[in-house]
Structure 1
Amino acid sequence: MTVLVTGATGTVGRQVVRNLLDRGQRVRALTRDPARAALPAGVEVVRGDLTDSDGLEAAFDGVTAAHLINFGGDYRPLANGPHLVKLAERAGVRKVTVLGGWQEGTLEPAVRAGGMEWTFLRPLQFMANFLTDWGEPLRTTGRVREPHGDRESPPIDEYDIGAVAATVLTGDGGHGGQSYLLTGPEVLTARGMVAIIAEATGRHLRFEELTPDQVRREWAAEGRRPPLSLFRAFSEVDGVGDADLVEMLLRMYGTPNELATTLTGEVERITGRPPRTFAEWAAEHAHHFLP
């Protein structure tokens, strides 16, 4: 069968492609710019934009399973979910995974109401976000300057998200109608993750804790806007300015969250192997944190 992967050049999409190829599947990759896709040999790359469903008939043609994302290139939830579902069903797609963003848009309810077998994937925190958030400051200053260094999370390697999607799309494990919260194998603090990156790189790196007033001054008033991955996600909300975003982040970082200390075990249950650790991920990506 042919599996369509949307967002195929993104952080998770590339790993879905990788895992599908490892399983011997035919992969069609949807991207806005095929010339810059840089995907493995054997992948059929097609041009398309999820926000423009009128141009996607050819992308779905002959596809029996698809990995969908619920946001477009601007990271806002898709507004054309019902049309996308109609196109997929008309083409004969029988099974989909849906990678959710920070907000549910029109895609999820349309998928639920349709006739395809669906599985929603909800990673809590990508390890890859630390490349965006910490890569530049660790390379240039050796420091991460953020509030609440002891805040906890169970980050997941993007490879494991791809493995779950590939397993669900190509297997018959009874995943239809399920929504999976995906976590890594351990709960870590921000301070602890910086220490793990330091060990992986052999560098002296440190977490420098900011007070809320320092955050307000540096992240809003002075226009410095880390962590970029969270600003990008929260910027999806219309009418929210930088100062509001900073307050949202401070509340999120400073408020205990049961999800941040809960390991779900879904990766191992679905794929049959434990999820990769942050230390493994840091060792693989150590070069991104070197000067």
Structure 2
Amino acid sequence: MTILITGGTGTIGSQVLASLNGQDADIRALTRTPEKAKLPPGVRPVGGDLSDIDAVRAALAGVSTLFLLVPNVADELTQAILTLNAAREAGVKGIVYLSVFKGETYADVPHFVGKHTVERMIAACDLPATVLRPAYFIQNDMQQKDALLTHGTYGVPVGARGISMVDTRDIGEAAAKELLRRDRSATPLPRETYDLVGPDCLDGEAIAAIWSEALGKTVQYGGDDLDSLEQRVRAFAPAWLAYDLKLMFRRYQQDGAPADGTQVARLTTLLGRPPRPYRDFAADSAQQWRAA
């Protein structure tokens, strides 16, 4: 039995591989540069990416279970649909697909719509898949280090409605558990869906207060300026992606992305413990920054 991990060298894929480490599983990781990939011991690199259907077909040969993470690229939807079709043709018996929290609701945010469309294919074709819907990643806020330490500002315009951010380590652990459950089953298992969320619904002011406590200094929320966000993102990402993220934060500001108790409880059952809170991330980060 063989598990193929896509995005294995990225933020989430590396957490999935870390959680699979020591689980006595045959694991491959799809990567554009197998000769340079830094992977855990025992993980076999496979050359290619999801934009190359021939490479995808070759990578899926002999694979029993697939972790499908498609990057934020202009043809994300096409890559996902083609890969799922190739997996079905290859006889893959278990799939774990990384979608997004609120994908069915945020109908004006491109990458949310694309992921929800992939979910529709999974349901319509009755694929043996677990759909994981992570909320906004807590670890994205590592990018706020300079603003927090230098200016005493939390600059992510999350608004006042609140979002239930999730720790990327919880995403990796949840994915690994579902991959192993499906891979070790003698037959394909029914579809499952999990919302991967944090235990707290936090707005911009609440997050700034958490950082104030963690850093021992006053931290202010930087406000809801979405045009400024778009311009900052354009400095290191394509214009279409910057606008896509602006639209996502506009919905966060308008509607929020809160989890309910049932969603948190279901994730707690899957993990075997409560999901990690934002406050722990802030405290750990502050300690690391002081030590450095």
Aligned pairs for 1:25-44 within 5 A: 25-44=25-44
Residue aligning to 1:15: 15
Residue aligning to 1:260: 258
Is 2:119 the counterpart of 1:120?
no
The CA deviation string for residues 209-253 of structure 1, in whole angstroms up to 9 with x for no partner, is 4365xx54x446xx444998xx88x935xxxx85x975x466424
The Cα of 1:79 is off from its aligned counterpart by 0.8
The Cα of 1:130 is off from its aligned counterpart by 1.2
Q: Residues 180 and 46 from structure 1, CA distance in 2 versus in 1: closer, same or farther, beyond 3 angstroms?
A: same
Q: SS where residue 56 of structure 1 aligns?
A: helix
Gaps of 5+ in 2: 101-111
Q: Separation in 1 of the partners of 2:156 and 2:129?
A: 38
Q: SS where residue 137 of structure 2 aligns?
A: coil
Residue aligning to 1:187: 201
Q: Separation in 1 of the partners of 2:84 and 2:24?
A: 26
Q: Bigger shift: 202-211 or 7-16?
A: 202-211
Alignment: residue pair count? 273
Q: Separation in 2 of the partners of 1:76 and 1:141?
A: 38
Residue aligning to 1:3: 3
Q: Is the 8 A contact 2:204 2:221 kept in 1?
A: no
Q: Is the 8 A contact 1:122 1:179 kept in 2?
A: yes
The Cα of 1:24 is off from its aligned counterpart by 2.9
Q: Kindly provide the amino acid, as one letter, of the partner of residue 269 in structure 1.
A: T
The CA deviation string for residues 248-285 of structure 1, in whole angstroms up to 9 with x for no partner, is 4664243244x425241222121222111222223443
TM-score by length of 1: 0.78
TM-score by length of 2: 0.77
Q: Residues 84 and 41 from structure 1, CA distance in 2 versus in 1: closer, same or farther, beyond 3 angstroms?
A: same
The structure that is helix-richer by fraction is: 2
Residue aligning to 1:91: 90
Is 2:178 the counterpart of 1:164?
no
Residue aligning to 2:153: 143
Q: Separation in 2 of the partners of 1:57 and 1:269?
A: 35
Q: Separation in 2 of the partners of 1:77 and 1:60?
A: 19
Q: SS where residue 45 of structure 2 aligns?
A: strand
The Cα of 1:32 is off from its aligned counterpart by 1.8
The CA deviation string for residues 99-129 of structure 1, in whole angstroms up to 9 with x for no partner, is 0152325644443344641111111211112
Q: Separation in 1 of the partners of 2:54 and 2:129?
A: 22
The Cα of 1:204 is off from its aligned counterpart by 1.9
RMSD of aligned alpha carbons: 3.4
Q: Is the 8 A contact 2:153 2:222 kept in 1?
A: no
The match for 1:178 among 192, 217, 220 is 192
Q: Kindly provide the amino acid, as one letter, of the partner of residue 89 in structure 2.
A: R
Residue aligning to 2:106: none
Q: Separation in 2 of the partners of 1:103 and 1:226?
A: 22
Q: Separation in 1 of the partners of 2:203 and 2:253?
A: 13
Alignment identity in percent? 31
The Cα of 1:191 is off from its aligned counterpart by 2.5
